[in-house]
Structure 1
């Protein structure tokens, strides 16, 4: 397995990335049954650095993004492994996981980030319209929160939000606006 002169991993393949991640996971001080954790690498994920999947029959699988590793390197993968191990801990202990207070306490204990850094640019940005509210959300596809924003509200204060097409800066706040901007942008959509 490749590493640089300081011993920092430099995996050249998804298989090497998994080998380093498994080895690194054993150094994290968290009560996770690592023998019961499956590992995988996604070559398709472009919006998240990792995921922790749970199935009552199959248990926990930690999935790491090859694109995230290529964009940010090993230090980001190590953060992601610690973050996903906290999810694995919650699944193994409680049968569920999220990013709430229990997750936050355990993440602090293992120096894991609460959220992993995005490594892809969003296609759309949702922004609250209320002065003083800094809520923003990134979207990568035209989900209903993008195409029908009048049906939804800001995640912090509950006010209406506006959707921005990141490539053009054009905005809309309802379904008709979405259709109008999409038609006007044509091939630049």
Structure 2
């Protein structure tokens, strides 16, 4: 760093992640790991991509998660992504199967990372004796056309709520109406 340069939050995030990675007891060749920061991700705290031709894993960490989590929680995200890098380097593939679960458990890394953003949509079962609900960050098929789907628990109909406004709908036309009514608040 030269005089007058200031570190950004992204510089801090990457520096802490790289330092932590050196201390994690996993056989990852860190010389074949690249690091990036995502400023766009809204749901995932991290990701690991594999470039098969170069045999390089790229760990992408999300700034918003870094700003939201405490360090212990974010360090677990780094360990989670290192398990993916290890699987890619050792086996050429990675997922969240048994091999991943076993190695992640040894490193106290979660199988899935907790959410750091509020969902944009909440799907709720309409049956009075069912408390099933699901959260969505994007307008997926079940959000846009709930009349084509059913409750994941009991099979009943459900409704979708736009979390910020509280507006609900139960059909594709209801989705379109809510979106039109909310306009810029959508």
* TM-score bracket for this pair, using the shorter chain length: 0.7 to 0.9
1:153-189 CA deviation, whole Å, 9 max, x = no partner?
5566776543221012232233112112223334433
Specify which of 162, 167, 171 is matched with residue 170 of structure 1.
Answer: 167
Determine the C-alpha separation between the residues in 2 that align with 1:62 and 1:120: 20
Determine the C-alpha separation between the residues in 2 that align with 1:160 and 1:109: 42
How many residue pairs get aligned? The number is 179
Structure 1 gaps, min length 5: 1-10
Scaled by the length of structure 2, the TM-score of the pair is 0.79
With 81-90 and 165-174 compared, the bigger mean Cα shift is at 165-174
Residue equivalent to 1:14 = 10
Specify which of 80, 88, 92 is matched with residue 89 of structure 2.
Answer: 92
Matches within 5 A, 1:34-113: 34-58=30-54, 59-113=56-110
Determine the C-alpha separation between the residues in 1 that align with 2:130 and 2:99: 29
Scaled by the length of structure 1, the TM-score of the pair is 0.78
Change (3 A) 1:89 1:43: same
Determine the C-alpha separation between the residues in 1 that align with 2:156 and 2:102: 30
1:164–1:170 contact (8 Å) kept in structure 2: yes
With 117-126 and 148-157 compared, the bigger mean Cα shift is at 148-157
Q: Are 1:33 and 2:17 matched, yes or no?
A: no
Q: Compute the RMSD of aligned alpha carbons.
A: 2.7
